[in-house]
């Protein structure tokens, strides 16, 4: 083993926001830094001096960020965009850092699909773009994630399949109220979002144009187009075909349906080249076959999730359209033209959920946009730092974009 060896341990964040439970094997711990770049696990590598390497070391070796402080915000008689009135709507969220006396150091990071408040730890802490010693970071949890108000935790008459549809605007509007009423925050430094969080970031820029300085959107678009709707509907169909689903009034979780929708999800998650190069091997112990990897991923991906919660968030995702914001009459292009703040738009170059071409199309209507694709084979989760190279790319450019406002 080389003389100058540094041991680095990282907690891998799964693409759906939950931590993976698989520990590294002893064999994996002996891999080179090249393997570490793919695995995000406890690995050894030889110290280098190059600047790029130094940045990756800073990201990996910095002290672990402290857990966020959990908060709840309850809205009585919350009226959804569709007209339903929930007796109580609960928003669960976390905070990192301290709100300053001027209340002007806050950044909102809205959650992605089925994620909790820990979903942005690839962007927070020493060596990362967001420093909680200087910023007040608010990581919100979407309706339907099983913690904020969801089909699985709401009493009759809005329980299970009777829970009303929720839009991206419903989520944004609820968080806007939380900021004003619970924290008396009248302005945000930024909104930064991945995937469904990116959808929310665009909606913030359209719905509350004077409330934020700038937005960052990674692996997500301002509207879900037909191709994405077909994908989501195929996943819903895979889930609901399980006889145990019982039209949503199940007494036991339809685990076969959840596993089937996970398989559909997995087929779209990474790029075709990621599969062709067999990069899935970097996520599994040596000797694992492709079928074993698929079985393990589909078993773990939505483990513990509630079927009605999954379906609610899929419907939220597929209904997303900034053009449906009041005043724009379904014109997404006009809504995008209305954005007057700087936008850092970072699609993954190989995303199958939100294709690069869709981001390029939308960027043509945004006045102050920097379109910066993430050069990655990791598909959709590249926008959440799926590999350390992705993480370094995101942190470098997001930090520079935020620094430009100082």
Show which residues are catalytic.
195, 351, 380
Tokens standing for residue 261: 């929708």
Q: 16 CB contacts (<8 Å, ≥6 apart)?
A: 112, 113, 114, 115, 301, 302
């Amino acid at each position: 083993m080389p003389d100058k060896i540094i041991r680095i341990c990282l907690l891998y964040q799964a693409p759906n926001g939950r931590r993976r439970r698989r520990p590294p094997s002893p064999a994996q711990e002996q891999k080179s830094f090249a393997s570490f770049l793919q695995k995000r696990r406890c690995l050894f590598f030889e110290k280098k001096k190059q600047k790029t390497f130094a940045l990756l070391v800073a990201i990996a070796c910095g002290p672990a960020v402290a857990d966020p402080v959990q908060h709840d915000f309850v809205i009585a008689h919350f009226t959804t965009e569709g007209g339903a009135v929930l007796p109580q709507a609960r928003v669960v969220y976390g905070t990192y850092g301290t709100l300053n006396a001027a209340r002007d150091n806050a950044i909102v990071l809205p959650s992605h699909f089925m994620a909790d408040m820990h979903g942005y730890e690839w962007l927070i802490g020493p060596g990362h773009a967001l420093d909680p010693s200087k910023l007040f970071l608010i990581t919100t949890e979407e309706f339907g994630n099983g913690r904020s108000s969801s089909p699985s935790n709401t009493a009759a008459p809005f329980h299970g399949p009777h829970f009303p549809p929720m839009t991206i605007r419903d989520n944004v509007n609820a968080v806007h109220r939380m900021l004003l009423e619970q924290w008396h925050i009248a302005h945000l430094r930024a909104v930064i979002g991945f995937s469904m969080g990116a959808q929310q970031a665009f909606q913030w820029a359209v719905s509350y144009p004077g409330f934020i300085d700038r937005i960052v959107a990674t692996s997500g678009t301002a509207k879900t187009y037909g191709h994405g709707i077909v994908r989501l509907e195929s996943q819903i169909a895979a889930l609901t075909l399980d006889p145990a689903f019982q039209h949503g009034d199940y007494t036991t979780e339809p685990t076969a349906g959840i596993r089937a929708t996970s398989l559909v999800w997995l087929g779209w998650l990474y790029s075709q080249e990621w599969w062709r190069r067999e990069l899935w091997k970097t996520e599994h112990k040596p000797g694992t076959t492709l079928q074993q990897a698929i079985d393990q991923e589909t078993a773990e991906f939505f483990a513990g999730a509630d079927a009605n919660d999954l379906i609610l968030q899929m419907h939220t995702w597929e209904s997303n359209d900034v053009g449906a914001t009041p005043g724009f009459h379904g014109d997404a292009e006009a809504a995008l033209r209305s954005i007057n703040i700087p936008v850092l738009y970072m699609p993954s170059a190989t995303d199958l959920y939100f294709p690069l071409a869709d981001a390029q199309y939308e960027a043509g209507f945004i006045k102050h946009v920097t379109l910066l694709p993430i050069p990655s084979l990791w598909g959709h989760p590249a926008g959440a730092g799926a590999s350390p190279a992705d993480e370094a790319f995101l942190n470098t450019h997001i930090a520079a974009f935020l620094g430009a406002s100082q």
